[in-house]
Amino acid sequence: MTAPWSLRALVADLVAGRTTPEAAAAEARSRIAAASYDAWVSSAYLPSSPGPLGGVPLGVKDIIDLAGLPTRCGSVLRADAAPATVDASIVREWRRAGAVPIGKTVTTEFAFFAPGPTGNPAAPGHTPGGSSSGSAAAVAAGHVPLALGSQTAGSVTRPAAFCGVASLVMTRGRFPVDGVTGLSPSLDSHGMFTATVSDLALAWSALSGEPEVAPSSAPRLLVWSSADVSPAMENAVGTAVSLLRAAGAVVDEFPDPALVPALTAAHPVVMAYEAARERSVELASADRLSAPLAQLLRTGAEMPRAEYEAALDVVASGATRLAEIVGGYDAVLAPAALGSAPAGLAATGDPVLSRPWQALGLPVIAVPGLRDEAGLPLGLQLVGRASDESALLGTGRWVEAALTR
């Protein structure tokens, strides 16, 4: 396996003239040809713009429109889709920042549970997670230093954790979602993958226009975990807390553990109700969908609106309560998944530990660096305040450094 490609190092080479956008694209194609991991569904190359990432190869999840290529969404229903005529808004923003899309990465069927063919470069024979599996694997394999994903439940955080790379789920609504084939308007968020949190900070600055944030001073964190995590993950969280405290962080226990299960339970209700309406065309062809997606859409279609509205009320009250809890803290620290990547490629793992934070639409970073006794990646997640990605990335850079000292 090729090591992940440092975005920061590539940008430095491009700025200094030690390489060119054309050479960077050629390098990406060479890396993809050497070890595909079935992470890609199509390729493209368009000239770069002179933004801060000018010439950086970019992977684009195949539910996001990229002009000139079809958006197939990992589904037989889109097998004959015509090429998109315009970029999604988020792709235009990345082009403005100078990134160069070089192809579409594998997604699960309509970003739900039916997996694609993608393997996990960091854990051969184990799932790369879903639904942004191709993007996570492409970064983990070193094909590209930057790839786009999306998250409705755990589709960015979980594959980052399983593949041992960093990810950022952006605050919901921070950028438009036109040109993205979504599932749930109240839950769908943009995301991205890089090798490290340091690279995330560089990419976020280029995308948002905000100054790049340096590592913060020792943060104040609230730690939350689940009784359902694997023993290895439980040990990893304990180790992380010890390392962070030794480095100077204040780490306190999350004071209202009942809040998280309530949000976790509300999330799939909102998702099912909205998915049935967002994907009503596909619902009409449910017999051609995977059993999990067909069941989601049928469940949502039959759901009483009162049940959906009750779930939204839980989310709204949960947001108020969480704002009270996190006052005076920089982030919530939690396991990013129940454990390391499950064996096999027939399933993508459980997104349960992302559901509560995704229901709230908050920015989330997956921090790599920990592993279990078998050497498989174990990810942590940091949950920040809405529309304050820069502060969260500063905290994430400090945590990443403390875990790898």
Which active-site residues does the annotation give? Answer: 61, 131, 155
DSSP conformation letters of 303-361 = S-HHHHHHHHHHHHHHHHHHHHHHTT-SEEEEESSSSSPPBBSS-----TTTHHHHHHT
Phi, then psi, of 69 in degrees rounded to 5: -125, 145
* Token pair for 121: 């470069």
Tell me how far apart the alpha carbons of residues 128 and 142 are, in angstroms, rounded to a whole number: 15
Between CA 197 and CA 238 the distance in angstroms is 21
**DSSP symbol at 133:** H
**Is 29 in contact with 41 (CB distance < 8 Å)?**
no
13's tokens = 């080479």
Q: Which residue has the tokens 């997604």?
A: 107
Distance CA 7, CA 2 (A): 15
Give the 3-state secondary structure of residue 53.
Answer: coil
266 CB contacts (<8 Å, ≥6 apart)?
311, 312, 314, 315, 318, 359
